[in-house]
Amino acid sequence: MIASRGNPEQIQVLVADSRQTESQLLTYALRRQPGMTVRSCGSKLAHCLEALQSAPVDVLVLSYDPSDPDHQIDTLRGLHNSYPNVRLIFSVDKYDRNLVVDALRAGARGLFCRADQPFRALCRCIAVVKRGQFWVNSEQLGYVIEALRMGVHCRVVNAKKVGLLTPREEQVVNLVADGNGNREVAQCLGVKENTIKKSLLRIYDKLGVSNRVELVLYALTHQGISSLASASATSAEIPRKEPTPAEEARPPAGKRSC
């Protein structure tokens, strides 16, 4: 029996899939998981918006339709713009560089590959994304970093396109994004390394992130008119094989890596 909507521990999940059989199977499987209340709808934007208006949703799992990739990216973007607080997971059978970058830029918080990951991983993905973190693997993150290297300037904005960082903080983010360590950033700006560490902590607090990996992914989905520059992540922060949420790089409570 599904717990009531008022239960604060329940994750309200919406499965959006144009394939009726697959949608029913996934919905049924997720409903059997403790802590989840699950509904389903079609994958078109109108179907999703109607379902979102009818009841609260924490996480929306949108299944990719390879027959109309551009339309699905538009659907992600429309959902993110209309309901920025709903966490979006893009469920695909396979992906390429453009799909990864376009999906994350459109507002997806997680990229789940059905062909490579078991059902239990999807459950974990939903829980991770619900907490405001990202679910990407090292290859997908590499695509993001490569795309960001093509940019020239970072300006992180909120839903109203208002800048969240000071000009100096934007300088710090751009230098970090170019692959510089704290020492190199300090040298470029003519300040002490400890000053950069403190500046990064303030940036993390403003954006609600905890490390460089989360900073890259957050900035990608909250960038302004200017393009975002690059960012670096070590293999220690993102494992190479397992599709890993950014939480794997999150330091213990009360500690943040700079």
Determine the Cα angle at 29 with ends 123 and 248, to 5°.
Answer: 5
- Select from 57, 219, 239, 76 the least CA-distant residue to 151: 219
- Fold (topology level) of 147-239: Arc Repressor Mutant, subunit A (1.10.10)
Pairing relationship of beta strands 59-63 and 87-92 according to DSSP bridges: parallel
- For residue 244, is pLDDT > 60? no
pLDDT of 247 reads: 45
Band of the pLDDT at 76, cuts 50, 70, 90?
very high
Rg of the chain over Cα atoms, rounded to whole angstroms, equals: 19
Q: Which SS3 state, helix, strand or coil, does residue 130 take?
A: helix
Domain ranges of the chain: 11-135, 147-239
pLDDT for 16-28, tens place per residue? 998 889 999 999 9
Side chain identity at residue 212, one-letter code: R
pTM summary value: 0.65
pLDDT for 52-70, tens place per residue? 999 999 999 999 877 776 6
- Fold (topology level) of 11-135: Rossmann fold (3.40.50)
How much of the chain exceeds pLDDT 70, in percent? 73
**From the DSSP assignment, how many helices (H) and strands (E) are in the chain?**
10, 7
pLDDT for 106-154, tens place per residue? 899 999 999 899 999 999 999 999 998 999 998 998 888 777 666 545 5
